[in-house]
Each structure stands twice: as structure tokens, then as C-alpha cells.
């Protein structure tokens, strides 16, 4: 197993064997993302991958139950190559039941539903799509490269194929100010239509070296305050409609870790969020009142 550069994987894949199929991200233009910024994108040779799989088989063949295909957007590989990789993995690991990958929206749109169905049949069980926002203004501002409608088509084609879709969205991606509430509301509306298996929440972090970091430093983007984060979460949860939708916000970027169905999460946190927001408002009113004397 030979790895190049930093390796990222979603939290639920912590116990997966990671097969690095590409180096970097084929798109690599999102303003907030530092993951593969200084990495030149390339696809690894199939024979190198087969050697990696053979090494993993020799080291832990009878233990591997999950595999994650990295790097940032392995769904960008040609379908024939993905099919060969899947066949090799299932032949090597007798207990394998789960193979997942990140999927960028552009690469997802480059594949047909039939291609996804073939991949599902060959054992691709889950993909993680960076939906980020349902707002066209926000998607454009962060250079995601697709509109909300195109994002919907990408997500729906994965759902239609039967592969489990994890939709990742970013609290605070519209910044503090005019886009915050519409970002949260429109993101919920997009997720309602997309109907993913699981909604993964992350909170926007400005990472050194990114365009977003420079925008924050220059005063062109204001990150949310903790209260504004709570407000966006409240709007998002209140506008999501499918009570059985699984939600996971245990990623380290988040202020409020939540896990469960929409119904459970709403019951757990909405009351607390309301109390905290009420506390904030009464503090502000108190300060304004005292300020008069």
C-alpha cells in the first residue's frame, strides 16, 4: 500500500481499507477547499492499483469488509476502470460488503444512470457527493462549477441507480448576511428533492491557503457567529421534509454534533436551539436597554 500526499476520507469510512485510485481532485476549484490544492491531478495506473490490492490482500485479506476509493473524486475514473477495480477488490477480499467513493458533481454528471447501475451491480455501495448548498448564488460564489439544478440531477442519478447517496452540505457557506437564511432554506429544499440516504453536515471553516481564507482576511466574507450557525441549523431542520432522513453532523468542523433520523434530531435539538437563541436575544435587548442609562 503506497500513498501519495494527504489522505482524506469521510468519518464513517474510518475502518475502511483506502485504495488511492487518483491523486488529487479532477476539479480542484472550490474556493473553500484546501484538500488537494497543491496536488497535480492524475489517475493511477490500473496495474499499480492491482499491486496495491494484492499487497492489502496479503496483509489483511480476510479482515477487509469495507473499502474507500480515494482521492477527492474517484468517480471521475472511466466506468470500465472502476468496474475492473471493483472486480479485483471483491475477488481479493472475501468479506467485502461495502465500497464507497467521493463523487464531485461534474464527474457524476459525466456518467449515465445506466453506468451507475452497472457500478452498483459490481459492488459500489455508497458515494459521498459535495452538494454544499441549494442556492445558485452560493454555488456560484464558491465556484462549485454547477447550478443547484445540475447538482440535483447529479444526486438523483446516483439515487436512481440504487447506490446509497450521502449528500454533504456546508453550514455557513453563504457567509453571515444576505445569503445565510436563503442558503439554509434552499439547501433543505434541494435535499428534499434529491432524497439522499444520509445528509452529512459540515460547518464552513476558512483554511489557510484557500480563496475563502483570503476573502475572510480582506473582509469580503464573514464567517457565521455560533448563534448564526444555530439559526442556519434551525432553518435547515425546519425546512427538511422527510422525517426518516438520516442526519449526521459528527464531523469535527461542527458546533453541534447530531446523529439520527430527522425526526429524532429535531426532537433532540430544536428546543435547545430555540432557548439559546432566546437567551441571545434577551441579552441583546438587555444591553440595548441598559445602554440608554
The least CB distance from residue 200 to ligand SAM, in Å, is 7
Q: Does 83 bind ligand SAM (CB under 6 A)?
A: no
Q: How many CA atoms lie within 13 A of 184 on its CB side?
A: 23
Q: How many CB atoms lie within 10 A of CB 280?
A: 16
CA angle, 113 then 131 then 273, to 5°? 135
> Which single residue brings its beta carbon nearest to ligand SAM?
130
> Cα 216 to the chain's mean position, in Å?
22
Binding site partner of 224, from ligand SF4, ligand SAM, none, Cβ cut-off 5-8 A by kind: none
Q: Does 134 bind ligand SF4 (CB under 6 A)?
A: no
Residue with cell 482576511: 217
Q: Does 35 bind ligand SF4 (CB under 6 A)?
A: yes
The least CB distance from residue 154 to ligand SF4, in Å, is 12
| DSSP label at residue 280 | H
Q: How many CB atoms lie within 10 A of CB 56?
A: 20
Q: Does 204 bind ligand SAM (CB under 6 A)?
A: yes
The residue from 13, 16, 22, 27 that contacts ligand SF4 (CB under 6 A) is 27
Binding site partner of 28, from ligand SF4, ligand SAM, none, Cβ cut-off 5-8 A by kind: ligand SF4
Within 242-271, which residues bind ligand SAM (CB under 6 A)?
253
The least CB distance from residue 108 to ligand SF4, in Å, is 11
- At 22, give phi and psi (nearest 5°): -125, 160
Cβ neighbors of 10 (< 8 A, separation 6 or more) are 68, 100, 102, 128, 166, 168, 200
Please give the residue ranges that form the binding site for ligand SAM (CB under 6 A).
25, 32-33, 35, 72-73, 102, 104-105, 128-130, 132, 168, 170, 202, 204-205, 207, 253
Amino acid at each position: 500500500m503506497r500513498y501519495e500526499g494527504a489522505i482524506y476520507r469521510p468519518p464513517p469510512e474510518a475502518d475502511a481499507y483506502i485504495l488511492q485510485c487518483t491523486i488529487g481532485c479532477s476539479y480542484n476549484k472550490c474556493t473553500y477547499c484546501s484538500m488537494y490544492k497543491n496536488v497535480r491531478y492524475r489517475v493511477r495506473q490500473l496495474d499499480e492499483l492491482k499491486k496495491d490490492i494484492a499487497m492489502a490482500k496479503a496483509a489483511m485479506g480476510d479482515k477487509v469488509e469495507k473499502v474507500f476509493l480515494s482521492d477527492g473524486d474517484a468517480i471521475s475514473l472511466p466506468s470500465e476502470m472502476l468496474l475492473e477495480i471493483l472486480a479485483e477488490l471483491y475477488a481479493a477480499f472475501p468479506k467485502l460488503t461495502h465500497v464507497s467513493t467521493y463523487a464531485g458533481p461534474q464527474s457524476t454528471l459525466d456518467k449515465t444512470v445506466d453506468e451507475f447501475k452497472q457500478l452498483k451491480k459490481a459492488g459500489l455501495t455508497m458515494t459521498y457527493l459535495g452538494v454544499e448548498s441549494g442556492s445558485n448564488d452560493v454555488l456560484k460564489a464558491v465556484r462549485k462549477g454547477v447550478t443547484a439544478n445540475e447538482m440535483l440531477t447529479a444526486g438523483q442519478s446516483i439515487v436512481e441507480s440504487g447506490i446509497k447517496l450521502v449528500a454533504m452540505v456546508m453550514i455557513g457557506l453563504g457567509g453571515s448576511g444576505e445569503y445565510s437564511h436563503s442558503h439554509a432554506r434552499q439547501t433543505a429544499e434541494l435535499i428534499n428533492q434529491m432524497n439522499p440516504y444520509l445528509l452529512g453536515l459540515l460547518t464552513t471553516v476558512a483554511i489557510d491557503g484557500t480563496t475563502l481564507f483570503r476573502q475572510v482576511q480582506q473582509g469580503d466574507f464573514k464567517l457565521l457567529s455560533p448563534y448564526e450557525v444555530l439559526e442556519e441549523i434551525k432553518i435547515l431542520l425546519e425546512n427538511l421534509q422527510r422525517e426518516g432522513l438520516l442526519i449526521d453532523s459528527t464531523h469535527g468542523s461542527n458546533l453541534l454534533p447530531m446523529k439520527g433520523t430527522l425526526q429524532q434530531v429535531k426532537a433532540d435539538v430544536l428546543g435547545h436551539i430555540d432557548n439559546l437563541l432566546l437567551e441571545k436575544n434577551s441579552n441583546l435587548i438587555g444591553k440595548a436597554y441598559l445602554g440608554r442609562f
